[in-house]
Amino acid sequence: MLRDSIRNPTCLDYAATTPLRPEALADMQPVWADVFGNPSGTHELARRAKTLIEVAREGTAVGLGCEPREVVFTGGGTEADNMAVKGAARAGIGQGLDGVVVSAFEHHAVLEAAERLENEGFRVSTVPVTAQGIIDLDRLADVLDERTAVVSLMLVNNEVGTIQPLEDAAGVVRERAPRALFHTDAIQAPQWLDVAAATRSVDLVSVSAHKFGGPKGTGALVVRGKARLVPLVDGGGQEMGRRSGTHNVAGIAGMAAALRTTVQQRAEEVARIGKLRDRLVEGLREAIPDARFNGAAAHQVAGTCHVGFPGVEAEALLLMLDRDGVCAAAGSSCQSGSMDPSHVLMAMGLSRDLALASIRLSLGWPSTDDDIDRALAVIPASVERLRTPAATAR
């Protein structure tokens, strides 16, 4: 049985990535096989590729609640975040804008983009978050001013899964920094939330295909209305000059198909997965009474369970779980292998010890009851072994 579980591990790390949805694969395969033209050309082969891109653009716009011309295809979520934060800040220079505002627990794609801008001379302000994992709107108001160029606040935190009050934050931004562009990293949101509704007051929205069943290396940035960005990539002038480079036609087609399917099935999947997550939480709470669950449960998306086990090193626990066929994570997937505590948990005020004892268990569209059964069989037993070193040594 153990050998079978290792060959077919239980995945509790779908916040890191998801397998391709069948609908995405079905739309990508004909492109790989037959559509090799460069969509920037003018002949028939090029037009076939261009048509696929524009059909995908229309579908992506529907899913994200914007106009097709506002969709900019990128090489993934990190590029979309960098394009938004750096592009908006640099575009503001000519208007006398030099302020960049981010929350303390943004993804590193946003935080390091802000750090780069600070090195270029921009004023960077970091907004604290509460112990529940929610942006502090009062502190946001304090750091905004007439010279703020861009504000970036994520929609769903990638580690603890808390949903941020974007509509309220947008009101604060419009009042205190009326010339600023408002960006949200919505990369963890499409599979759980109606992104079109949640981001209707936001200028710039980043998404990444592989988080909701699309291919890796494909993403999009919504650039609404008259928002202006300085491009990160210059060259061929693709995407109306906003992002040069030959399009990944198959990837774009797959992302559009995955987003369409995600939107169509979201209500049903959220209800089903939420029940699985609740069973996981209750089972862990019963088996490990001193387990500490991080993030406000009332504001978490359905697929996230972030939990700390006092006295247990997360790194050791993850290695033991992996050996027994359960895949999980500590912190962001982009920070795997790091011995430092999660900046997200530290921003929420957790002690260093508890931060280093916490892991993220995340569910996704392929999750099943069997996955929860396996998790509840393996995780408590692993925690117990790690808390009794003598037994572990034997």
- Compute CA distances 104 → 39, 107, 300, 316, whole Å: 40, 9, 18, 27
Residue type, 218: T
Q: Could you tell me if 56 and 256 are in contact, meaning their C-beta atoms sit under 8 angstroms apart?
A: yes
- In this prediction, residue 6 carries a pLDDT of 47
- In this prediction, residue 339 carries a pLDDT of 66
Decide if pLDDT at 394 tops 60: no
- Confidence band, pLDDT 50/70/90 cuts, at residue 340: confident
- In this prediction, residue 142 carries a pLDDT of 98
Compute the distance between CA of residue 342 and CA of residue 332 in angstroms, rounded to an integer.
Answer: 8
Mean pLDDT of 227-246: 96
- pLDDT tens digits, one per residue of 8-65: 899 999 999 999 999 999 999 999 999 999 999 999 999 999 999 999 999 999 999 9
Decide if pLDDT at 99 tops 70: yes
Q: Could you tell me if 10 and 216 are in contact, meaning their C-beta atoms sit under 8 angstroms apart?
A: no
- In this prediction, residue 12 carries a pLDDT of 98
Residue type, 282: E
Mean pLDDT of 373-387: 98
Decide if pLDDT at 91 tops 90: yes
Query: What's CA 273's distance to the chain center, in Å?
Result: 18
- In this prediction, residue 7 carries a pLDDT of 63
- pLDDT tens digits, one per residue of 274-290: 999 999 999 999 999 99
Same fold yes or no, 2-17+266-393 and 22-261: no
Compute the distance between CA of residue 259 and CA of residue 65 in angstroms, rounded to an integer.
Answer: 12
- pLDDT tens digits, one per residue of 132-159: 999 999 999 999 999 999 999 999 999 9
Decide if pLDDT at 236 tops 70: yes
Mean pLDDT of 105-121: 98
Q: Are strands 10-11 and 326-327 parallel, antiparallel or unpaired?
A: parallel
Decide if pLDDT at 390 tops 90: no
Fold of 22-261: Aspartate Aminotransferase; domain 2 (3.40.640)
Comparing CA positions, the residue from 195, 225, 224 lying closest to residue 208 is 195
307 phi and psi angles, rounded to 5 deg = -140, 140
- Confidence band, pLDDT 50/70/90 cuts, at residue 5: very low
Q: Could you tell me if 226 and 80 are in contact, meaning their C-beta atoms sit under 8 angstroms apart?
A: no
Mean pLDDT of the chain: 95
pLDDT above 90 as % of the chain: 94
334 is catalytic: yes
CATH number, domain 2-17+266-393, options 1.10.8.60, 3.40.50.2000, 3.90.1150.10, 3.50.50.60? 3.90.1150.10
- Compute CA distances 121 → 98, 116, 117, whole Å: 8, 9, 7
Mean pLDDT of 161-175: 98
Enumerate helices (H) and strands (E) in the chain, giving the number of each: 14, 12
- Compute CA distances 387 → 60, 342, 357, whole Å: 48, 22, 12
User: Which tokens belong to 160?
Assistant: 């603890």
Catalytic residue among 11, 66, 327, 334: 334
Compute the distance between CA of residue 277 and CA of residue 305 in angstroms, rounded to an integer.
Answer: 7
Which helix (H) or strand (E) segment is 326 a member of? strand 326-327
Helical H segments across 100-160, by residue range? 108-119, 137-143
pTM for the predicted model, two decimal places: 0.95
- In this prediction, residue 8 carries a pLDDT of 84
Decide if pLDDT at 180 tops 90: yes
User: Which tokens belong to 270?
Assistant: 């959220």
Comparing CA positions, the residue from 227, 310, 329 lying closest to residue 11 is 329
Mean pLDDT of 353-381: 98
Mean pLDDT of 353-373: 98
Name the residue ranges covered by the structural domains of the chain: 2-17+266-393, 22-261
Mean pLDDT of 331-345: 70
